[in-house]
Amino acid sequence: MATLLIRNASILTPRGLVEGSMLIEGNRIAKIGSIAQIGKTSAKADSIIDAKGKIAIPGLVNAHTHVSMTILRGYGEDLPLDRWLKEKIWPIEAKQNLADVEASAYLSFCEMIRSGTTAFADTSLFDPSVIMNAAKKAGMRGIVAQSFLDFGNEKKTKEALANLASHEKKKFEKSVGSRERDLVSLSIAVHAPYSCSSELLIKAKETADKTGLKLQIHASETRKEIFDCLKERGKYPIEYLEDIGFLGENCILAHAGWLTKREIASIGKRKASVASCPISNLKLATGGISQITELDAAGANVALGTDSAASNNCLDMFQTMKMASLLQKHHYWKADILSTQKTFAFATQNGARAIGFDSGTIDIGKLADIVLLERGPNLVPAHDILSNLLFSAGSQNVCDVIINGNIIMQGRKILNLDEAKIMDRAEKVAQDIKTR
């Protein structure tokens, strides 16, 4: 089993900062402490990173994104969600082929790695294998799904149901319920309550339950969605999902920006995950602030996401963490509404829990997803390390990235990917689609 020693770091553990070293055996953290505490194995480590002056933090988890859309960054600016989707995004996505998706995925992984993200949850309209393969090559951890939608169209419902049935037949998880899952795993996804028939939603939930895969959906993103749902069904979207038996621990509800108190209680009771995407919500002027403080108190698993780079316009979880925290303070007119510790957990351990991996903290036995941050003037002084991480740190501090025990970026160089080529290809593809 390959071993990696990270020396001389300030290590952020669940019990506070440890000044010392960390031994990774295979894909898990084996030891944390002084070199003496780590013992003889430290001298024989296969790889050694000297992290003097650096802070080791758990990798950030992006619990809601669409890597196929990164090549649409800056395309379709200044529109509300409804018009943005119908006038700009869906028409151009209809012209995207799988090679474009691949180019966009690789670009996304470069951006994620550079901004300290080690795991992600993705949905797209495309066959998931292209994105899964690109993620594997990059060395990223994640879950990937094709998102089904039928708009109540019978033919589309049939297609989606057939596709879901094929999911059931495959053995997707090497060992569901055991500690090990594939680094990149498949997930089930349905687009949204407003774009899917109840038949499709129910079947998706059944498939997720049977296969042990995570179940992703957009829900309660815009006020329009709420009004439409009330008008059509006489219920709020999450009420509706609860009534058809959709909510559960395997659910990831993206956005959840317009919730009634009763819906918050339902999500909490079902221990579902919420992937709040504050930057995208503001950019598309959805008007809602996800009540993540109340969701957390109700028992929901609150995680954070960037949404796509087409509505953010980054895949930067440092920005997202900071925004999530600031918006809670603002929304409740209460500067201490949400602790820095809790917000940081949303972006790390809760994200890992949402997407189903045993990572998200730096602790003995945990999967080794670690980011080393270099000191810069923006991180001085160190009155409060967690506050610095939440409010002051950024991509400019991200120096080294380790995922599943593998070194993915070292000294700001991404190892598994040819970044310059990826940027050139993505640029070319992005311009080309517009001419089709």
Q: Which residues of this protein are in contact with a copy of itself, per CB under 8 A?
A: 71-75, 77-80, 84, 107-108, 110-111, 114-115, 223, 279, 281-285, 287, 309, 312-316, 319, 322-323, 326-327, 329-330, 332-337, 339-340, 375-378, 380-385, 387-388, 391-392, 394-396, 419, 422-423, 426-427, 429-431
Give the pair of three-digit tokens for residue 48. Answer: 């050694």
CB closer to a copy of itself, 117 vs 266: 117
CB closer to a copy of itself, 177 vs 377: 377
62 cis-preceded (ω within 30 degrees of 0): no
What is the SS3 assignment for 40-68?
A: HHHHHCCEEEECCCEEEEECEEEEEECHH
Residue 33 exposed, middle or buried by CB count within 10 Å (0-12, 13-18, 19+): middle
Residue 68 Cβ, how far from a copy of itself at the closest point, in Å?
14
Helix, coil or strand: residue 381: coil
Residue 392 Cβ, how far from a copy of itself at the closest point, in Å?
5
CB closer to a copy of itself, 278 vs 356: 278
Residue 56 Cβ, how far from a copy of itself at the closest point, in Å?
19
**Number of CB atoms found within 10 A of residue 52's CB:** 8
Residue 96 Cβ, how far from a copy of itself at the closest point, in Å?
13
CB closer to a copy of itself, 180 vs 384: 384
Give the pair of three-digit tokens for residue 208. Answer: 């997720």
CB closer to a copy of itself, 187 vs 343: 343
Residue 69 Cβ, how far from a copy of itself at the closest point, in Å?
11
Residue 286 Cβ, how far from a copy of itself at the closest point, in Å?
8
**What is the rounded distance in angstroms from the CA atom of residue 58 to the CA atom of residue 360?**
6
CB closer to a copy of itself, 13 vs 387: 387
Q: What b/e sequence results for 350-388 when a residue is b if at least 16 CB atoms lie within 10 Å of its CB, and e otherwise?
A: bbbbbbbbbbbbbeeebbbbbbbbbeeeebeeeeebbeb
Residue 311 Cβ, how far from a copy of itself at the closest point, in Å?
10
**What is the rounded distance in angstroms from the CA atom of residue 217 to the CA atom of residue 190?**
5
CB closer to a copy of itself, 175 vs 431: 431
Pick the closest to residue 331 from 372, 292, 281, 388 (CA basis).
292
